[in-house]
Structure 1
Amino acid sequence: MFAVGHLGELTQVVPFDLVDEALAEAGGLQRRVRRLPSRVVVYLLLAGALFTSMGWAQVWARLTTSLPGCLPVPAPSSITAAMRRVGPAPLKALFDLLKGPPAVTATQAARFAGRLVVAIDGTQIPLPDTPANLAVFPKAKAGPNGPAGYPTLRLVTLVACGTRTLLDAVFGSDRTGELTYAQDLAKAGALRPGMLLLGDRGFSATGFITTVAGVGADFLIRASTHSTALKLPALRRLSDQTFLSRIGQVTVRVIEATITVTTAEGTVTHADHRLITSLLDPDEAPAITLVRLYHERWEIETSYCELKSTLLGGRVLRGRHPAAIAQETWALLTTYQVLRTAMTDAVLHRPDIDPDRTCFTIALNAARDQIIQATNIINNTHIDLIGRIGTAILNTLLPARRDRTRPRVKKRAINSKYRAVGRDLDHRTHKTTIQIATTGLLNNPNR
């Protein structure tokens, strides 16, 4: 009965005793042995996050295809009842056991001035359009193009730049904003001293910056420059053309820079780049270095691409009621974390390889193969950090990252007959040369 409960080679990352611990902690252990034990249901949910295009019966078939004997296929109603019996709490407990950066060397973890570089941002995931889901996850208000097609949940995560592992996550109705969820993460202990938080302009709010400073973490956040943006009066000018200011009761350093991007098609200058940081010493954190470091914030955008486009394939979740949505979302986040941990383990003994060069799609496909083949589930006393998944990753490394630029536009859905926003723009990716220059207070010394 328990043989179906595995994740192929990834079972070494999320072993049986860890799943049982999560079930026991959340009260999800069965009181009697059933044909669908709780442990098996958890692994079925995790495998479902790897095979998102398939129904649960097809996921079950992949877990059992290489197992000896003829195992009966449970009815869909039995699978649904078992998932409801387990509930979302054990999946949340399992994510809590697995979240956080894995044991990595200094070259694998993105660090700056001794601090772990992390990024925060939010995204939305579409859900099945059912009355039960709409009651908790209402659709967005109708816009100029008509009503929203699906209800959505809002997901906010904290990601370690470099390894792209999840440090923590929170989600709920998209009627609640990113800043509220971000505050919840910070207050729950996701942020702590020794971290440097990167955030986009949506997080340049007095309340959030006060919260981050209150938990002892440092920050590097882009600030808006429009007329209603935060007012940042210059209190003291520093030697590198930056200046000190105050946001609430927090002293910050303001960096203003001009970024010039040159490609074969021409030159574009961005003169309104403004960053605010709690790193006040120009010698410890030079302005130009911080402007370049801020680009690491895009690691979380890549993580969301892997989560929504590669894992989910752009599909809606399966759950038809809120508890199933919560269960499936925690399973999705846990599976992403398990894959990322396996990818980090693969390059653990190769400090010369930047984790950015590991391919998420290769890792995903290799993990799927090991599930179907039911291989390397138990590795006895020898722990192999590479395995078949790691071998596939190391054999197909991506090229070293290059400076490139591409217009950011809204893309239309595949085969859509409607005009895309920015359709007339050049959508090609260009090699680029980037020049950065700090500008100081060129326009308004009181802003």
Structure 2
Amino acid sequence: MARTKAGLGAGARLADFLNASLMARVVPPEVVHEVLDAHGRNSRRIRAFPAVAGVYYVMALSLYPEASYEAVFSAVSQGLAWEAGAPQPAGVSKVAISLLRSRIGAQPLADLVERCCVPLADPAVHPAGFYRGLRLVAVDGSTFELADDPAIEQEFGRPGGRQGQAGYPQARCVLLAECGTHAILGANLGPYGSGEWALCQPLLARLGPGMLCMADRGFNGFEHWEQARATGAQLLWRCGSTRNLPVEKVLADGSYLSTIRPTGVSAAEAKVRAIKVRVIDYTLPNMPDSQPHYRLMTTLLDDTAAPLLELAELYHRRWAMESIYDELKTHLVQNRRVLRSRTPELVRQEFFGWVLMHYTVRWLLHQGAARHRIPHEDLSFVGHVQLIRQQQPLSGAFPPTAHEEASVVVPGAA
């Protein structure tokens, strides 16, 4: 069946829904140029659709996912038309857009996530994003559906079970994010069958001293703990309630000290590499949907500096990751369940553009929260998505070589 291009509604242009200047403030054009140059993907001559605009175009795909490729381009190219003195942007075909996306590839977008997605929370303004001076971050994985294409299925896989295969291929991703602001700090993507730890390992470089990283039960093997602890970050991870963790010293608050050791090595090596941990066991008796028993491991060994009850309460802030995935998969891409790209490389590219767009929305929300000292959870993510879609783009929002400093309208601002 032939596919019908999605429109924007009577009398509407995508330019009415997209504030490209905001994208350029969060992902500055000069940084985009540097990354494209580093990979040899930048445009060598002035084009109707240069590579730097292609990067913003990929971000815009997730901002307005139901619009056609050409409609998204018409918004992204507004600043380019202004730069050239033209009343309207030049038309570009869907083939030309696909060729440019293929030329850019995925790695520049992945590098931009690493360079531009930085922590946002300020302890003076948003104390809920910290615990005793430590920035709260969490890591978690999820899956999402991809276009039903043979090359994509071969690359990423398709889940199956007793009821047969799923309707679409799927990819697995892992995110590292700030709990207080929901800002994604790192992202990785792989096949559906990937182990979450394999996808998590490259994100460890984003951890460091001054952070407290929380994770669920998929990340509690000795090697996982050893590698994450080596970053200098403090850890608070859930582990299986049946895991054998011998009690070595019971602390005053009811938690206890234990030791974890590597397996499959000599006794001498296991002794050298052994790591002291603190174990916290607790229940939530007044919550009907809670698990019967929770067990946490932490690098915070001092029960007076980090009491059991505080850490037990703190761990459940890890559920911010569920909200982040909901923002990505439900509120940002709206009704489109499946990423639109139809080659493995462009799937990866679209994924990192998706992450950059989520960070852009969260950056905008953070500006309002910080300016008016409002908790992030009191501001609507969906409302800020709509704000970006509805703002008129400013002239020259992101010319090919530099961007103009632009004002940002924040809900509630004077």
Q: Aligned match of 1:191 in 203, 207, 211?
A: 207
**Residue 276 of structure 1 aligns to which amino acid in structure 2?**
M
Letter of the 1:322 partner, please give it.
P
Q: Does 1:160 align with 2:182?
A: no
* TM-score normalized with structure 1 length: 0.78
Summarize deviations over 1:208-263 as a string: whole Å, max 9, x none. Answer: 112112222211111212xxx4211101111111111112222111111121226x
Alignment match of 1:243 (pick from 256, 262, 275): 256
Shift of 1:8: 3.8
Q: Does 1:123 align with 2:142?
A: yes
Change (3 A) 1:285 1:65: same
Q: How does 1:79-98 map to 2 (within 5 A)?
A: 79-98=97-116
Distance 1:268 1:44, change over 3 A: closer
Contact 2:24-2:397 within 8 A present in 1 as well: yes
Shift of 1:93: 2.3
Contact preservation (8 Å) 2:56, 2:76: no
**Residue 213 in structure 1 maps to residue 229 in structure 2:** yes
CA apart distance, 1:279: 0.7
Cα distance in 2 for partners of 1:380, 1:24 equals 18
Unaligned runs of 5+ in 1: 396-447
- How far is 1:268 from its partner? 6.9
Instruction: Please tell me whether the aligned partners of residues 62 and 354 of structure 2 are also in contact (alpha carbons under 8 angstroms).
Output: yes
Hey, what does 1:36 align to over in structure 2? 49
- Offset at residue 375 of structure 1 (A): 6.4
Could you tell me how far apart the structure 2 residues matched to 1:279 and 1:123 are? Answer: 28
The residue aligned with 2:281 is 256
Answer yes or no: is the 8 Å Cα contact 2:152–2:344 preserved in 1.
Answer: yes
**Would the aligned equivalents of 1:119 and 1:158 in 2 still touch at CA under 8 Å?**
yes
Return the alpha-carbon distance in structure 2 between the equivalents of residues 128 and 33 of structure 1.
33
Partner of 1:56: 69
Alignment pair present for 1:355 and 2:376: yes
**Counterpart-to-counterpart distance in 2, 1:282 and 1:340:** 35
Partner of 1:73: 91
Instruction: Quote the offset at 1:360 in angstroms.
Output: 0.8
2:353 equivalent to 1:331: yes
Deviation, 1:71, is: 2.9
SS in 2 for 1:132: helix
Deviations 1:80-109 (A, max 9, x none): 111112222221222222112036343326
Q: 1:304 aligns with which of 313, 325, 330?
A: 325
Whether the 8 Å contact between 1:9 and 1:376 is mirrored in structure 2 is no
After TM superposition, give the deviation of residue 72 of structure 1 in Å.
3.3
CA distance in 1: counterparts of 2:20 and 2:78, whole angstroms = 13
CA–CA separation in structure 2 for the residues paired with 1:160 and 1:268: 25
Give me the whole-angstrom Cα distance separating, in 2, the residues matched to 1:271 and 1:118.
Answer: 25
In terms of mean alpha carbon deviation, does 79-88 or 324-333 score higher?
79-88
Tell whether 2:397 aligns with 1:377: yes
State the distance in 1 between where 2:97 and 2:405 align.
Answer: 35
* Aligned with 2:165 (options 147, 162, 172): 147
Q: What SS class does the counterpart of residue 117 from structure 1 fall into?
A: strand
**Which whole-Å deviations, capped at 9, do the CAs of 1:410-446 have from their partners, x for residues lacking one?**
xxxxxxxxxxxxxxxxxxxxxxxxxxxxxxxxxxxxx
Q: Is the 8 A contact 1:38 1:86 kept in 2?
A: yes
1:285 aligns with 2:303: no
**Alignment: residue pair count:** 376
In structure 2, the CA distance between the partners of 1:269 and 1:18, relative to structure 1 (3 Å rule), is closer
Q: 1:230 to 1:375 in 2, by over 3 A?
A: farther
2:199 pairs with 1:181: yes
Q: Distance in 2 between matches of 1:27 and 1:250?
A: 44
Partner of 1:17: 30
Alignment-mate amino acid for residue 134 of structure 1: E
Partners in 2 of 1:306 and 1:206 — Cα distance? Answer: 32
Aligned equivalents of 2:103, 2:289: Cα separation in 1 = 57
Paired residue secondary structure (1:333): helix
- 1:403-418 mapped onto 2 (5 Å cutoff): none
Distance 1:118 1:95 in 2: 16
> Which residue is equivalent to 1:274?
295
Taking a change above 3 Å as real, the CA distance of residues 383 and 81 of structure 1, as seen in their structure-2 partners, is closer
Q: CA deviation at 1:149?
A: 1.4
Distance 1:293 1:77, change over 3 A: same
CA RMSD, 1 decimal: 2.6
The answer to whether the Cα contact below 8 Å between 1:160 and 1:166 also exists between their aligned partners in 2 is yes
More off after superposition, 150-159 vs 22-31: 22-31
1:284 is displaced (CA, Å) by: 0.5
Q: CA offset at residue 147 of structure 1?
A: 0.8
Q: Point out the more displaced range, 212-221 or 65-74.
A: 65-74
8 Å contact kept, 1:243–1:254 = yes
Whether the 8 Å contact between 2:25 and 2:405 is mirrored in structure 1 is no
Change (3 A) 1:269 1:30: closer
| Structure with larger RCO (C-alpha < 8 A, sep 6+) | 2
1:114 match: 133
Q: Amino acid of the residue matched to residue 194 of structure 1?
A: G
Q: What is the rounded CA distance, in whole Å, between the counterparts of 2:179 and 2:87 in structure 1?
A: 45
Structure 2: give runs of 5+ residues left out of the alignment.
Answer: 1-14, 262-273
